[in-house]
Structures are given as structure tokens and as C-alpha cells.
């Protein structure tokens, strides 16, 4: 006779979390090693192996826990390791190599454990220490990234020990689907992929369409914007948070199965996601009658294949179907006719990662971050000419000055800030004069840029804006799917004109023509790619027209 | 029937019952062989019951898929924005002049293949190049010859 109660207990998330916490509590020291793409590239694999080897050599297996985590944020200073010893101050070490790791372990960690928390860091190792009091860490507000860098993304029990799947349990057992939708609506969460459409409203629309045989929830992880890696880091650092968010979304809208669409260029993210899904199945969190309720749900992964346009939802749907990723006119919207003509709801990775936190802590808590219209936090990939390049999360409404100069540590090598670019190839530049502008959907739009998915590129005074605009346009022209004429032909013509101007052959009328084509593309293109492709040109033209006119043949040159 | 052919058939058999799995099957074939050649596409077409034209429609649409065998070492130069701002174009030029090929081409000895990729997601390490999965961060043009020698050595040993 099988004892059902005993079996159910094995899959009880509270029980698993309790056991894991008790296990963690036994260790005196935990060493967290960043194990995301950035730090892995800088050699964190070997470093983790070395740490484990030294722990083994000293017979400290039961005292030291080594955890390979997701992104800790400061990618430029990687590989990063954080050492937490009970009774000692937490220390973060930067740019460690194998020798430094061995020294840190043998001269600090091992003696510290033996000295029962009274060890001092040898002076020769101080140069590797990165202060945790830096504005880079202090100024951030981690909601989506709260677990990244603090747990092993490949271990589901650790996620549970950090409160994982409690939100799902709350939704399934105590809330009706409508209550979940209402809670998300109330929180003011908006799509983090760039569009900024209210997530609650999207779910409401999707929930209103009756489920005949199938309804899908799709997670958009096709992060094509060059210079942005938020979604990759979330999937690598905390894949279960995204899966949990998707399951809650599925429950709210009545979806029968879910699809992850992830770029093939992110092998590590795909691998971690696959492992996470497997772990969910093993723990009966996916499949039939999840947590003993009537809720049944399954997920699958589909890979992108290097097409920027597939970030657009209708193109993405075609790509999941195994076809060319070309967009189609909307309406009908995917919420009515999506994947295989069935109602589908497409949400971004970061959007879904927010969901479980909102359900657990409440819509009011979430809405306490941010501005009037943009609630919560936003993850940015802060890159380019900035001291502390990395992954950051700040409340909406934080000013660009705070992000670039305080968190980012300013522009290096004595250069001055010229502008910040957001929204990638669909966005625009924000000149240094607008540094005090709060970052939110509306304010960025006013300046002709967009929030986008979260790429924030810092540009110093050595960069030429015409070339930058050409760089972006080059990208969108290359990535245009070619289905509609305004985008296919307009983009190419704009690029030819821009090239002509950049080579010093342009005339005044070329600038006019550039604007006209841009206008036509914005109005007549089929999808977001074409509609926003002229943005980098228009935006640089708006703020840095002199840089364009200085390159023209028939216009007198002016000093910058 | 050669070994490769049966591989494509195996892949097709694995995926054909799943919906919309053509791209996944192509990924798997490219993962095994490094590219998708005509007879693989034919095998997929037959086994998965998809017209050959539809398979090529997909193969040629997506940048990721290769139709001809790349070199042994695939050099991917990141052309994301952060790498662009930090001067990866100079690194690319150096690769081109050292190898005497253009992007998207392979060297005559079949050793190297040079390609540009859109953001590998290591912007903190910009400028970045990836050779067969190994990432080189904070690149300068001066490092290029050493990297090429490193890989030449690696192939010599085998």
C-alpha cells in the first residue's frame, strides 16, 4: 500500500524549503561564485573547480558551501566571488584569477573558519576587494534580480528555500483567476519588452477569450537588441522565477500550455531553463493537477535563430510554428488569434519574473516603487563608455544622472558624457543636458527615445553621432525581414543617404529627404521594427544636427 | 547511406511528431555537423513531410543557419553596440587582414571562418570575440595574431 500522504509530503514545497534551509544553516561559510556568461568568459569555471578542490583538501566540506550563481551585476569586474562567513563581514572579490583565488582561500577563508570568525584579510589581498558599500550596490533596488547572485539557479530546492513557488501556491489555492488578473492590474506592471502595455490589461483581454481547446502563454526571450542582456541574465540567474511567473499567468488567463522562445545565441540560458523545467516536472510543478488542484500546465522551449524581427510578437509566433519570422498586420491580435490560430498571450521574460513578487508582497508594495504611470523597477544593461558596466536594477523614475554617474561611476578616462542611448535600434539618444530626467516610459518618449527592453549605452564625447545613427540603421536594414516595402526600401535608401553624408558628399536636400523617408517608414511600416527604425537617425538629427550639417558639402562648417 | 544522412533522419524522426519543430530539427543538425547541407534538407523534407522549398525558406531567412561547412575555428566578432563603441571594428579589420578573408568567408586551408555576430551578451567585457565557444574579452587588434596562433597550435596537436 502506497502512502499517499508520504508521497505528497515529498513534493510539498514547504517541506522541501524547510529541509534546504536547515541544510544551508549548517554551513559556517558560503562562497558564491558568479557563473553567468560574463564571468564564465573570464574563467569562472576553473575558479569554482579550484575553490571546491581547496575545500576538499582541507576537509571543510561540511563547513563551506560553494554556490555557482547567476549574474551579480558588475560584469566588467568579473570573475566575482562573494565570501560570507558567519561572524565576519561579507566580502566581494573582483577580477580574481586562479592564483588570487588560491590565496584568498588559503590565506583568508580556511584560517577564518579555523579561527571561528576572527580572521583578518591579509593586506596583499585587499586589492581584490570590491566594497559592497559602493553606490553601484547601494543605489539599486532588486526585485526581479533579488535571487540572481544569491542562489544556484540549477537547484530548485534553493529557489524554494528563498520563497519560490509560494506565489504559485497562493494563486492556485486562494485566488480565482480573476483575482490574479486584478492584482496584476492594480500593481501597474507594464510590459518590460519595450512596448509598455499594461500586463494586467493584456491578461484580462486574453482571459476574456474563451478557451475552446487550447490557449497559449508565450514567453518572449528573443532579446535581439545589441548591447542588452537583461533577459539572458534573468534566465541564467533565476530561471524558476520566470517559470513561476508564466504558470501564474497561465492560471490567470486559462492557458493550457506555455512556450519559451529564447535566442539560440544564449546557450547557457537555454541550458539552465531546460534544467529548471526538468526539475519542475520532477517535483510535480508541471504536468497534471499541479499542487493537488485542477490546474494542468506544461511548457516547451523553442529556439530563435538569429533574427531581430522575431522579437515582434506576430513574427515570434510564426517562428515558434517553425516558419520564417515575418510579422503580419494586427488586428487580429495574438490574444484572439495567435500561435496556430489559437488565443495566445505574449509576455517578456522580465515581465513574468515580476509576477511572483507582486502576488506575494502585494500590488501596493509593487506600486510603491516608481512614478505615477511607471510602476516597479527596471533592469538595465548599463554598457558603453562607463566605469562600472554591468547589470543593474533601479526603481522607475531614477534619473539618468543617478544611473550613469552614481551607480555607473561616470565616464572613464577623463572624458565627458555626451549622451545616453536607450531602446537600442528602435530608440534614441538622450543628450547630457537632460541628465536629470527620470527614466520612465513617458519621459523617454517625450525626448524621442523609448524605454525599450533595457539596454542603456553611455556615449562619451569622442563618439560621432552620425556614425552611431548609421551603425543602428545598418543593423535594422540588415535585420528587416523584407515583407513590407516601407521598411525594406525606405531603410536601404536612408542608409545610402546617411552613408553619403558621412563620407562628406551629402547636400542640404539630403537631410530633408532623410526626414521624409523616415516619416514614411514610421507611418507605413507593418511592424515595430520598421516603424521605429528611423528613431536613431531622427533623434540624433534632433539634438546633434550640427554634426550632420558639418559633414555637408553646401553648408558652411561650424564649430561644435 | 552515409553516417551523416542517417543522423539527419534520426533528428527528423525525433522531431516530426512535435508541432512547429522544423527550426529545432535544423538547430540539432547544425549542432552535430556545424552546417546544414542539401542532403540533410532533403532527408528532413522526406521524413518530416515538409516541402524542400519551405525548409530552404527557413534556412535562408535566419542568420544562424549555415549552408556550407565553416572552418574548423569559427571566429565570431561581436558587433553589438557596446563592442562597436569600444572599437571592435578595428579588431575585425585586423582579423580580415591577418586571414586575408572577408567576413562570412573561410580561409583556403579550412582552418578559420570569420563572422560577425549581434551581441554575445558580454557587454561588460567589450570588445569581445568568440572562437569556438571560447570568449576573448577586452580585445585589442594587437591580440589578434596571438589568438590565431593559439588555435593553429591547437589544431596542429590534434
Domain shared by B128 and B93, yes or no:
yes
Q: Is A384 helix (H, G, I), strand (E, B) or coil?
A: strand
C-alpha cell at A401: 544622472
CB nearest to A322's CB, from B23, B82, B120:
B23
Tell me whether residue A10 is in a domain.
no
Would the pLDDT of B149 be above 50? yes
The shortest C-alpha distance from A419 to chain B (Å) reads 13
Answer whether residue B89 shows pLDDT above 70.
yes
A347 and A414 assigned to the same domain: no
Whether residues A451 and A497 fall in one domain: no
The string of pLDDT tens digits covering residues B17-44 is 898 899 999 999 999 988 999 999 999 9
Chain B residues lying within 8 Å of A41, measured CB to CB? 122, 125, 128, 135, 137
Cβ atoms within 10 Å, residue A114 = 12
The answer to whether position B68 is within a domain reads no
Residue A71 buriedness (CB in 10 A; 0-12 / 13-18 / 19+): buried
Looking at B40, B61, B82, the residue that finishes a domain is: B61
Is the domain of B13 the same as that of B33? yes
* Interface with chain B: mutation pick from A38, A427, A502, highest number of B CBs within 10 Å: A38
Structural domain harbouring A41: 27-135
**Same domain membership, residue A315 and residue A186:** yes
Number of domains in chain A: 4
pLDDT at B4 over 60: no
If DSSP codes are grouped into helix, strand and coil, which group holds residue B114? strand
* Distance, CA of A478 to CA of B92 (rounded, Å): 18
User: What are the two backbone dihedrals, phi and then psi, of residue A458, each rounded to the nearest 5 degrees?
Assistant: -90, 130
Shared domain for A390 and A358, answered yes or no, is no
> Are residue B78 and residue B147 in the same domain, yes or no?
yes
| Chain A neighbors of B65, CB-CB under 8 A | 305
pLDDT of residue A559: 55
pLDDT at res. A228: 87
For β-strands A428-431 and A417-422, DSSP reports them as antiparallel
Residues B99 and B33 in one domain: no
CA–CA dist B129, B137 (Å, integer) = 7
- Of B21, B13, B7, B20, the closest CA to residue B46 belongs to B13
Chain B residues with at least one Cβ partner in A under 8 Å: 19-24, 26-27, 54, 57-58, 61-65, 79-82, 84-86, 117-126, 128, 135, 137
pLDDT at A460: 93
- Say if the Cβ atoms of A323 and B85 lie within 8 Å: no
Q: Grid coordinates standing for A300?
A: 516547451
Q: Which residues in chain A are contacts of B29 at CB distance < 8 A?
A: none
Tens digits of per-residue pLDDT, A26-66? Answer: 999 999 999 988 888 888 999 999 999 999 999 999 999 99
What pLDDT was estimated at residue B1? 46
- Positions of chain A with pLDDT lower than 70, given as ranges: 1-9, 116-118, 558-560
Clarify whether residues B39 and B82 are in a common domain: no
For residue A392, report the phi and psi dihedrals to the nearest 5 degrees: -130, 160
Q: Do B119 and A265 touch (CB under 8 A)?
A: yes
Check whether residue A491 and residue A414 sit in a common domain. no
Interatomic CA distance for residues B122 and B129, integer angstroms: 10
A chain contacts of residue B135, beta-carbon cutoff 8 Å: 37, 40-41
The rounded percent of chain B whose pLDDT value lies above 70 is 96
Task: Please classify residue B140 by burial: count the beta carbons closer than 10 Å to its beta carbon, then call 0-12 exposed, 13-18 middle and 19+ buried.
Answer: exposed
> How far is the alpha carbon of A185 from chain B, nearest alpha carbon, in Å?
32
Q: What is the pLDDT of residue B105?
A: 87
Task: Report the CATH number at residue A70.
Answer: 3.40.30.10
User: Do A225 and B124 lie within an 8 Å CB cutoff?
Assistant: no
| The three three-digit cell numbers of residue B27, written as one number | 538547430
Within a domain: A444: yes
> Please, what is the Cα angle at A319 between A421 and A218, to 5 degrees?
75
Q: Within this chain, do residues A280 and A315 fall inside the same structural domain, yes or no? A: yes
Strand order through the sheet with A390-395: A390-395, A377-384, A455-460, A417-422, A428-431
Q: A460, A476, A504: which is the final residue of a domain?
A: A460
- Whether the pLDDT of residue B2 is over 80: the answer is no
Query: Is residue A415 located within the same domain as residue A357?
Result: no
Residue A279 resides in a domain: yes
Helices A239-253 and A230-237: crossing angle in degrees, nearest 10, is 100
Rounded to a whole number of angstroms, the distance from the CA of B134 to the nearest CA of chain A is 7
Sequence-separated (6 or more) residues with CB below 8 Å from residue B95: B75, B77, B114, B129, B144
| Closest chain B CA to residue A317 | B20
Domain assignment present for A16: no
User: Which residue on chain B is closest to A233 by alpha carbon?
Assistant: B121
Of B20, B121, B126, the CB nearest to A320: B20
Please report where in the chains the cell 515529498 appears, as a residue. Answer: A10
Is position A5 within any domain?
no
Q: Which residues contact A65 (CB under 8 A, 6 or more apart)?
A: A24, A27, A29, A30, A31
Q: What's the maximum distance between 2 C-alpha atoms anywhere in chain A? A: 93
- Statement to judge: residues A339 and A387 lie in one domain: no
Chain A residue numbers touching B84 (CB-CB < 8 A): 226, 471
Residue A518 in any domain: the answer is: yes
Task: Nearest chain A residue to B130 by CA: give it.
Answer: A41
Residue B137 located in a structural domain: yes
Question: CB–CB of B57 and A323 under 8 A?
Answer: yes
Q: Are residues A168 and A295 in the same domain?
A: yes
pLDDT tens for residues B43-58? 999 999 999 999 999 9
Taking CA–CA distances from A481, the nearest residue in chain B reads B61
Does A389 sit within 8 Å of B62, measured CB to CB? no
| Cβ contacts of A322 on chain B, cutoff 8 Å | 19-24, 58
Report pLDDT for B157. Answer: 76
Q: Are residues B54 and B122 in the same domain?
A: no
**B82 vs A contacts (CB less than 8 Å):** 226-227, 383-384, 389, 457
| Same domain for B121 and B94 | yes
CA distance, residue B44 to nearest chain A CA (Å) = 13
Which of A311, A333, A367 is the endpoint of a domain?
A: A367
Nearest to A391 by CA among A166, A71, A16: A71
**H or E stretch at B156:** helix B144-157
Q: Does residue A401 sit in the same domain as residue A436?
A: yes
Name which of A38, A302, A475 is nearest B125 (Cβ-Cβ): A38
CB pairs under 8 A between A and B: 134
Single pTM value for the model: 0.93
* Residue B53 lies inside a defined structural domain of this protein: yes
Q: What is the DSSP string of A472-526?
A: HHHHHHHH--S-SHHHHHHHHHHHHHHHHHHTT---HHHHHHHHHHHHHHHHH-S
Instruction: Please state, as a whole number, how many other Cβ atoms lie within 10 Å of the Cβ of residue A2.
Output: 6
B136 domain residue, yes or no: yes
> Residue B61 is nearest to which of A37, A324, A424, comparing CB atoms?
A324
Number of domains in chain B: 2
By Cβ distance, the residue of A42, A75, A305 closest to B62 is A305
> Are the beta carbons of A250 and A286 closer than 8 angstroms?
no
Determine whether the interchain pair B119/A303 forms a contact, defined as Cβ–Cβ distance below 8 Å. no
Rounded to whole angstroms, how far apart are CA atoms A60 and A114?
Answer: 10
CB contact under 8 A, A228 and B20: no
CB contact under 8 A, B85 and A226: no
* Closest residue in A to B22 (Cα–Cα): A322
Please give, one letter per residue, the 3-state secondary structure of B24-81.
HHHHHHHHHHCCCCHHHHHHHHHHHCCCHHHHHHHHHHCCCCCCCCCCCEEEEEECCH
What's phi and psi for A220, nearest 5 deg? -85, 100
**Subunit contact B23:A75, Cβ cutoff 8 A:** no
| Cα→Cα distances A242→A272, A315, A319, Å | 12, 22, 21
User: Is the domain of A417 the same as that of A470?
Assistant: no
Nearest residue to A341 via CA among A317, A365, A308, A309? A317
Q: Which residue of A has its CA nearest to B131?
A: A41
Domain assignment present for B67: no
Q: Which residues contact A274 (CB under 8 A, 6 or more apart)?
A: A301
* Full residue range of the structural domain in which residue B34 is found: 3-61
CB contacts, 8 Å: A76 with chain B: 124-125
Chain A residues near residue B63 by CB distance under 8 angstroms: 305-307
CATH number of the domain that A309 lies in? 3.40.50.11540
What's the residue count for chain B? 158
Same domain flag for A228 and A282? yes
Nearest-angstrom CA–CA distance, A500 and A473: 14
Q: What is the pLDDT of residues A341-385, one digit of tens each?
A: 999 999 999 999 999 999 999 999 999 999 999 999 999 999 999
By C-alpha distance, the chain B residue nearest A465 is B85
| CB atoms A226 and B79 under 8 Å | yes
Q: In 3-state terms, what secondary structure has residue A76?
A: helix
Residue A465: list chain B partners with CB under 8 A. Answer: none
Closest C-alpha to A317, from A216, A208, A212:
A216
Amino acid at each position: 500500500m502506497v502512502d499517499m500522504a508520504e508521497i505528497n509530503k515529498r513534493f510539498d514545497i514547504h517541506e522541501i524549503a524547510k529541509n534546504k534551509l536547515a541544510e544551508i544553516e549548517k554551513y559556517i561559510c558560503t562562497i558564491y561564485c558568479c557563473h553567468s556568461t560574463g564571468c564564465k568568459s573570464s574563467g569562472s569555471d576553473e575558479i569554482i573547480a579550484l575553490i571546491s578542490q581547496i575545500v576538499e583538501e582541507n576537509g571543510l566540506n561540511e563547513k563551506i558551501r560553494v554556490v555557482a550563481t547567476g549574474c551579480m551585476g558588475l560584469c566588467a569586474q568579473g570573475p566575482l566571488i562573494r565570501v560570507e562567513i558567519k561572524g565576519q563581514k561579507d566580502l566581494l572579490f573582483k577580477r580574481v584569477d586562479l592564483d588570487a583565488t588560491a590565496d584568498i582561500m588559503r590565506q583568508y577563508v580556511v584560517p577564518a573558519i579555523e579561527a571561528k570568525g576572527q580572521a583578518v584579510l591579509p593586506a596583499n589581498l585587499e586589492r581584490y576587494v570590491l566594497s559592497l558599500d559602493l553606490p553601484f550596490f547601494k543605489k539599486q533596488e532588486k526585485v526581479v534580480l533579488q535571487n540572481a547572485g544569491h542562489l544556484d539557479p540549477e537547484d530548485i530546492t534553493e529557489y524554494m528555500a528563498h520563497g519560490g513557488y509560494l506565489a504559485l501556491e497562493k494563486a492556485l489555492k486562494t485566488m480565482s483567476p480573476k483575482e490574479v488578473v486584478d492584482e496584476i492590474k492594480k500593481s501597474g506592471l507594464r510590459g518590460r519588452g519595450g512596448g509598455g502595455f499594461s500586463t494586467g490589461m493584456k491578461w484580462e483581454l486574453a482571459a476574456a477569450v474563451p478557451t475552446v481547446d487550447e490557449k497559449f502563454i508565450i514567453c518572449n526571450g528573443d532579446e535581439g537588441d545589441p548591447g542588452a542582456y537583461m533577459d539572458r541574465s534573468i534566465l541564467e540567474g533565476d530561471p524558476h522565477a520566470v517559470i513561476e511567473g508564466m504558470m501564474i499567468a497561465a492560471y490567470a488567463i486559462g492557458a493550457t500550455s506555455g512556450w519559451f522562445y529564447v535566442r539560440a545565441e544564449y546557450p547557457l540560458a537555454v541550458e539552465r531553463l531546460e534544467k529548471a523545467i526538468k526539475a519542475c516536472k520532477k517535483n510535480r510543478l508541471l504536468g497534471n493537477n499541479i499542487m493537488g488542484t485542477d490546474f494542468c500546465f506544461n511548457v516547451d522551449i523553442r529556439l530563435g535563430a538569429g533574427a531581430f524581427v522575431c522579437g515582434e510578437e506576430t513574427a515570434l509566433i510564426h517562428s515558434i510554428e517553425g516558419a520564417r519570422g515575418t510579422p503580419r498586420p494586427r488586428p487580429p491580435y495574438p490574444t484572439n488569434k495567435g500561435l496556430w490560430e489559437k488565443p495566445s498571450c505574449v509576455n517578456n521574460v522580465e515581465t513574468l519574473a515580476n509576477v511572483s513578487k507582486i502576488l506575494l508582497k502585494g500590488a501596493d508594495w509593487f506600486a510603491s516603487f516608481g512614478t505615477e504611470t511607471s510602476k516597479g523597477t527596471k533592469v538595465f544593461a548599463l554598457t558603453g563608455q562607463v566605469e562600472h558596466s554591468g547589470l543593474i536594477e533601479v526603481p522607475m523614475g531614477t534619473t539618468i544622472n543617478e544611473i550613469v554617474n552614481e551607480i555607473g561611476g561616470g565616464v572613464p578616462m577623463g572624458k565627458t558624457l555626451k549622451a545616453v542611448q536607450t531602446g537600442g535600434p528602435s530608440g534614441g539618444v538622450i543628450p547630457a543636458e537632460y541628465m536629470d530626467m527620470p527614466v520612465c516610459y513617458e519621459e523617454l518618449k517625450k525626448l524621442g527615445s523609448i524605454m525599450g527592453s533595457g539596454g542603456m549605452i553611455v556615449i562619451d564625447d569622442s563618439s560621432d553621432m552620425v556614425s552611431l545613427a548609421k551603425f543602428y540603421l545598418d543593423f535594422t536594414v540588415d535585420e528587416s525581414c523584407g515583407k513590407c516595402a516601407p521598411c525594406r526600401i525606405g531603410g536601404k535608401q536612408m542608409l545610402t543617404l546617411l552613408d553619403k553624408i558621412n563620407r562628406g558628399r551629402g547636400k542640404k536636400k539630403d537631410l530633408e529627404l532623410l526626414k521624409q523617408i523616415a516619416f514614411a517608414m514610421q507611418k507605413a511600416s507593418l511592424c515595430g521594427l520598421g516603424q521605429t527604425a528611423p528613431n536613431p537617425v531622427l533623434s540624433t538629427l534632433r539634438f546633434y544636427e550640427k554634426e550632420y550639417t558639418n559633414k555637408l558639402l553646401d553648408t558652411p562648417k561650424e564649430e561644435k | 547511406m552515409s553516417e551523416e544522412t542517417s543522423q539527419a533522419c534520426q533528428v527528423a524522426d525525433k522531431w516530426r511528431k512535435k508541432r512547429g519543430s522544423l527550426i529545432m530539427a535544423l538547430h540539432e543538425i547544425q549542432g552535430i555537423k556545424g552546417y546544414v547541407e542539401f542532403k540533410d534538407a532533403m532527408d528532413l523534407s522526406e521524413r518530416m513531410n515538409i516541402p524542400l522549398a519551405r525548409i530552404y525558406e527557413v534556412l535562408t531567412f535566419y542568420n544562424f543557419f549555415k549552408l556550407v561547412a565553416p572552418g574548423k575555428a569559427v571566429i565570431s566578432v561581436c558587433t553589438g553596440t557596446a563592442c562597436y563603441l569600444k572599437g571592435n571594428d578595428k579588431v575585425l579589420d585586423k582579423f580580415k587582414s591577418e586571414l586575408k578573408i572577408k567576413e562570412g568567408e573561410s580561409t583556403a586551408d579550412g582552418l578559420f571562418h570569420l563572422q560577425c555576430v549581434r551581441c554575445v551578451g558580454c557587454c561588460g567585457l567589450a570588445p569581445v570575440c568568440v572562437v569556438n565557444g571560447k570568449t576573448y574579452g577586452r580585445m585589442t587588434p594587437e591580440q589578434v595574431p596571438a589568438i590565431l596562433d593559439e588555435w593553429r597550435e591547437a589544431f596542429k596537436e590534434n
